[in-house]
Structure 1
Amino acid sequence: MYDWDLIADWGEWGCGENHDVIPDDSTKMAEARKINYLVDKTVYPNESPGLDPAKTLNIYKGLLKPNEIDEIKECEKTYFMAPASFLKELRTFLRKTRCLVYRGGYAMYETDHISYRYEIKKVLCIGKTGWVAKVLDHKTKQDVALKLTHHDAVSRYAEWKALQRIENRDRTHESNCVRMLDYNHFRGFNYIVMNLFDTDLKKYMIKKFPHGMPLDVNFVFIAMYMSSISQKIAKTGRSILIALDFLAKNGIVHCDVCPSNILLNLDKPEAVRLGGFGVARPVKPYCIPIHCQTAYYRAPQVFVLGAQTTAIDMWSFGCVMAELVTNERFFDGDSTADQFCAIQEKLGVPTREFMRAYNTEYFFLSKQGREPFHVTKRDGKEVVDFFKRVYNGITSQEIISTYSKLITDYEKKEVVNFPIVYTIGALSAKNYRCHRSGVFTSTSASFETSSGDHIAYRYSVDRVLGDGSYSEVYRCIDRKTETPVAVKILKHNVPIFDEEVDALTKISQLDPNGKSNCIRLLDHGKFRRHHYLVFEMMDCSLATYLDEVRNVSVQECGKMMRSILFALDFLHQHKIVHCDVKPDNILMSFNDPNSLKLADFGLATEDPTDVGDSILQTRHFRAPEIYFKGIITSATDMWSFGCVVAQMVLGKPLMAGRNYYDQLALIEQFFGLPPIPYYKRHLHFYGDYPKHCEKFYDNVTKKPFLQLEMIYHASNPKTGLPGSKTLKDVFPDPKQFAIVDFLSRCFKYELSERILPTFALKHPLFFQKSNL
């Protein structure tokens, strides 16, 4: 079994002698590290005017590819170059899906450069047309936002034209629209440089009121509180109106006014700026495509393909203001038809003038079923009759004999394997290419489906919740019970299905009432060559929650993670090891944020189990016995649990290694060298001392001592020698003594010395006194 962490990161600091590393490239790597280390200190000082192309080519002589040489020759100045740029193609090939290549997007990773000027520091968001990153402009030494559009994006020029027009008309910068600082193209991709903001209005509202408006207080406080909130909402609305007024006077339709496109800084949240001009267009008497506006903020004219005017921006503005006041979407719906129906419920049936102008009868929601009226009208009485009966489930034989026109040829052969049918999916989903070809597995082995389609003739697909190396998770509606569920669909031929089903089935049998705080498995099976598992629906993962709030207090961490300790204690008592405890696998509900559940048992195994050659657990939460090919027990999960607890309080991983060896070096930095018997299990990393260190002898005493290897230290300046750092250095506050004491009991090399979940529940960090 290949260690992809090790193979992909061999070039970080040269530890790949046993993994087919090319000696010449390894030597070049070392040279490049030394050169870039010197360049950072001398060539690029804080107020550098940049380098001429000739000088840049001289410094990097022999380390550049022909295309890079041509690019540098065309640059007036170079301000920054990513380290070891000649290895990018090799790294991209080795990382495969780990390197970001998203729907024709630019292959990007942190510390890379754009146009030899902008250094990528962090990806902020990814959309259908491109991605936005926080970058450092090495010319001005300021952090800015860079939006890079995909080369095949239809709107790749629209935003530049709109922002250029705004810049020409708004010389004083009083329009409350984002500013375009630079525009250019790099390697076939267009990019725009704009002002950097702390967050957007959507994330700000989630962070400020993650569980809704606080109403469990006295009436006087509510009046005072709502008064201050109303003032802030009014200031926010006024700032947005100034921007929309400016756009209307200059003949520009924004087309996508929503909280995600309203940007702000945390020090002054009322002073917002309008961004997201990717679908902006001039005012014209032409129809606007329905996909331009974000769902929930879509104007009625957009549903019926009306003219693009500034009036649609005012509708979206009203939806945003209503959401700020009520803290919920005003026109909510799981589909386009549901949203149009929600508009009718609140505002009534459209006027006759509106209906004559746009022929809206084709977009009314059918009272008989889940399809828009234009679909039922097109296919006639048969569709209406079918949707009347399918709510209670009908037999597959009746579908074939009576309603065969409503399913594809592939489904006619497939439906006989399902005795009762609760849905056949939206008729519009039948036009998707997988239904036409009968092939539902993509080239990457993922399951191909679309919104409105069905899974196993019971679950209606709503949207994608997330994806991983082995599976994708969809939000679906169980048409048998009419409740939302999460459906996990594994990639084709993934071997972990049986293990996960066995573990979850065992948990369900041992805990029929669902009190173990482990995610409940509701159903499972195989559909179109892919295994699927159906779980109860949760609101978000702990990782998503931490992305919004960044970190929590020690007391709040103890309250939240106590429920996960109950889950680990339950698994420990029944000899089950989860093997992948991390924030992404911990789910939570907004109604009760202190009641978390443990999910994703794809790597679960028995206690104890020999590691062998398997590389288990996510890197930042990986226990040392995984590296040393030891034994997996419940103590392995406690190491990962300690990493999660530390991340919740710190706001970042405690040991965030960049690769296989760096992670082990960080473990040693905190907890010293492992016991000597462990060396024999990891000979390619240890000799007489770790390979990221060098051994020297004191001139006087002749005693040996260790120092960090120079190239490794240049690449990892924050990593120290083994045992050079303690948990108290990370948690210096005396009030954090409880977490330091608990983590010191979790992070032990010997499994027998680690604290077990049963005793952890009695630790002061998690122990809660009874109210009785």
Structure 2
Amino acid sequence: MSCSMTAREPADLREDSFKRIVRKRAQNHCVDQTVYPNENPGLSPSSIFNGYSHLLSPFEKIEVKKYGKIYALSMNPETLKAPENAIEKDFFEMGSIYKMKKDEHIGYRYTIDKVIGQGCYGVVGEATDGKTKQKVAIRMVSKLAPRIYRETEMIMYISSIDPDHTFDCVRMLDYNVFRGFHYVVTDLFDTSVKKYIKEHHPNGIALENVAAMGRKILKGLVFLHEHNIVHGDLKPENIMLNLANPNDVKLGDFGLSRFAKPYHDHVQCQSMFYRAPEAFVRGRYNGATDMWSFGCTVAEMVSGKIFLAGDNCDDQFYLMQEVINIPPPVFFDTFYTNYYFFSTLKEAPKHIVITDHGPIVSFIYTKAADHRKIPGATPIGSFFTKTEQKPFNNFILKVFKWMPASRITAKQALDHPFFYSLSACFNQQMSLADGPLFAPKVKRAA
């Protein structure tokens, strides 16, 4: 007896993912349960019809009946012109991206104050929560971005194991669907570390501030790694901070996060400039993968420039060799390199270093682009040479290791002199855990 299986359409998979998320949402795994003073009790749809029907478009007069409580209405005149068949006319769409506009509402609860930005995964706006009166960030996700389900479920899980939000990860306040678009509501932050460097410290942030910010990031990583979670996309753009409250530094964007597995799951993670060596050669991801990204991030914070900026994926891998030399023999034995980055040719091309790795791999030739120096020509120690940078340089050397098992862990990094105590770095008594993030510069004795 034979049986046949019908291939499932992507839409079916998306629907299953959405139903699973809705079930978890019903268990309050992601909805903010904080009771704020002077909360708006909201109005019923019938009350809206009685007093505010002139603020509803023909389409909204039908749509509003689906909502139990109304906390916000649109003040945008263009939205008020939405026809009764607005969805069929793609009135709210621009391709697969929602057309977010100032003064309109999302889900009859959030009023858009301004549009912050738009990318391939959706559009982000700053909004006011009509129920709690709090400022929030709201992201309307592209219909072509299935990673929203993984990110949403991951943040729900993080919220369930950290209900008090004490481990420096961005909170999800709400998640729902509005006019066919999924949206995620999170805490609002002034800026990212990337923008902060670009706008305020193009030549690098003061070391004492890097240490304080880095310690907050490490606490978040320790929490994730203890629960077997790999962030997967750690970089300055995904570290959020508030200028008014400089101790408020959080890890954000869990779109590429996953649980660490004993095997490679064949899903690419990490942005290229912050990608660990094992991610190039089909290695499995774990906490050490995040630590490589963390090293690239803090190095960028100190210098103000991307630490390892290759032209493409191939060049990025060659650049790693220029900085930390050719991989050890165990690297080839552990990972599937497929000779993509390495060759066993007898005749070495230009810019090649020939090394004998013994019986495991003989006569490995390291490929390199024409504009790259030979492996090991620009060691890490040559980047941070100032006297006050020695503790930081010591930490960086412990991060940039070819083998994941050889890298310092997030928990060990918290005890490293650079992060553990500013006094160890600057001969100044100051606690990183309790002190201000943007500490005043300390003049070193001559």
The 5-angstrom pairing of residues 24-423 of structure 1 reads 392-400=41-49, 403-423=52-72
Question: How far apart are 1:568 and its partner, in Å?
Answer: 0.4
Q: CA 1:683–1:446 in 2, change beyond 3 Å: closer, same or farther? A: farther
1:686 equivalent in structure 2: 342
Measured in 1, the distance between the counterparts of 2:416 and 2:257 equals 26
3-state SS of paired residue (2:219): helix
Measured in 2, the distance between the counterparts of 1:497 and 1:432 equals 30
**1:587 and 2:201 aligned:** no
**1:664 and 2:313 aligned:** no
Question: How far apart are 1:533 and its partner, in Å?
Answer: 0.8
3-state SS of paired residue (1:475): strand
Measured in 1, the distance between the counterparts of 2:207 and 2:341 equals 36
**1:651 and 2:300 aligned:** no
Cα deviation code 1:483-531 (max 9, x no counterpart): 1100122111311122112211122122222210111111111111111
Query: Larger radius of gyration, structure 1 or 2?
Result: 1
Cα deviation code 1:644-678 (max 9, x no counterpart): 01001111011011111111111111122232236
Cα deviation code 1:105-160 (max 9, x no counterpart): xxxxxxxxxxxxxxxxxxxxxxxxxxxxxxxxxxxxxxxxxxxxxxxxxxxxxxxx
2:10 equivalent in structure 1: none
For the Cα contact (< 8 Å) 1:612–1:630, is it kept in 2?
A: no
Which of 555, 559, 562 matches 2:212? 559
Which of 220, 223, 228 matches 1:570? 223
For the Cα contact (< 8 Å) 2:348–2:365, is it kept in 1?
A: no
Measured in 2, the distance between the counterparts of 1:742 and 1:514 equals 28
**1:442 and 2:89 aligned:** no
**1:468 and 2:90 aligned:** no
Counterpart residue identity of residue 127, structure 2: C
**1:533 and 2:197 aligned:** no
Measured in 2, the distance between the counterparts of 1:433 and 1:684 equals 55
For the Cα contact (< 8 Å) 2:190–2:241, is it kept in 1?
A: yes
2:105 equivalent in structure 1: 454
Counterpart residue identity of residue 539, structure 1: D
Counterpart residue identity of residue 146, structure 2: P
TM-score normalised by structure 2 residue count = 0.76
Measured in 1, the distance between the counterparts of 2:114 and 2:349 equals 46
3-state SS of paired residue (2:395): helix
Measured in 1, the distance between the counterparts of 2:174 and 2:191 equals 21
Which of 42, 55, 75 matches 1:426? 75
Counterpart residue identity of residue 546, structure 1: I
TM-score normalised by structure 1 residue count = 0.45
2:33 equivalent in structure 1: none
Measured in 1, the distance between the counterparts of 2:82 and 2:58 equals 14
Question: How far apart are 1:440 and its partner, in Å?
Answer: 2.2
2:258 equivalent in structure 1: 605
2:27 equivalent in structure 1: none
Counterpart residue identity of residue 524, structure 1: Y
1:753 equivalent in structure 2: 406
1:765 equivalent in structure 2: 418
Q: Which has the higher contact order (CA 8 A, sep 6+)?
A: 2
1:481 equivalent in structure 2: 132
**1:624 and 2:273 aligned:** no
3-state SS of paired residue (1:421): coil
1:504 equivalent in structure 2: 155
Counterpart residue identity of residue 632, structure 1: Y
Which of 326, 333, 354 matches 1:677? 333
Counterpart residue identity of residue 726, structure 1: P
1:116 equivalent in structure 2: none
RMSD over aligned CA atoms reads 2.9
Measured in 2, the distance between the counterparts of 1:691 and 1:408 equals 71
3-state SS of paired residue (1:486): strand
Q: Percent identity?
A: 31
Cα deviation code 1:385-441 (max 9, x no counterpart): xxxxx9641112443466444312222332222210111110524257799645322
Question: Where does structure 1 lack aligned partners over 5 or more consecutive residues?
Answer: 1-389, 698-702
Structure with more helix by fraction: 1
Measured in 2, the distance between the counterparts of 1:483 and 1:612 equals 39
1:27 equivalent in structure 2: none
Question: How far apart are 1:476 and its partner, in Å?
Answer: 0.3
For the Cα contact (< 8 Å) 2:58–2:82, is it kept in 1?
A: no
Measured in 2, the distance between the counterparts of 1:639 and 1:417 equals 48
Question: Where does structure 2 lack aligned partners over 5 or more consecutive residues?
Answer: 1-38, 355-361, 422-429, 435-446
Q: CA 1:509–1:401 in 2, change beyond 3 Å: closer, same or farther? A: same
Measured in 1, the distance between the counterparts of 2:236 and 2:126 equals 20
Measured in 2, the distance between the counterparts of 1:512 and 1:530 equals 27
Q: CA 1:557–1:683 in 2, change beyond 3 Å: closer, same or farther? A: same
Q: CA 1:692–1:597 in 2, change beyond 3 Å: closer, same or farther? A: farther
Measured in 1, the distance between the counterparts of 2:106 and 2:234 equals 29
Count of matched residue pairs: 372
Cα deviation code 1:633-652 (max 9, x no counterpart): 01111110000010011110
2:146 equivalent in structure 1: 495
Q: CA 1:535–1:434 in 2, change beyond 3 Å: closer, same or farther? A: farther
For the Cα contact (< 8 Å) 2:76–2:102, is it kept in 1?
A: no
Q: CA 1:507–1:427 in 2, change beyond 3 Å: closer, same or farther? A: same
3-state SS of paired residue (2:94): coil
Measured in 2, the distance between the counterparts of 1:401 and 1:609 equals 60
Question: How far apart are 1:624 and its partner, in Å?
Answer: 1.1
For the Cα contact (< 8 Å) 1:610–1:629, is it kept in 2?
A: no
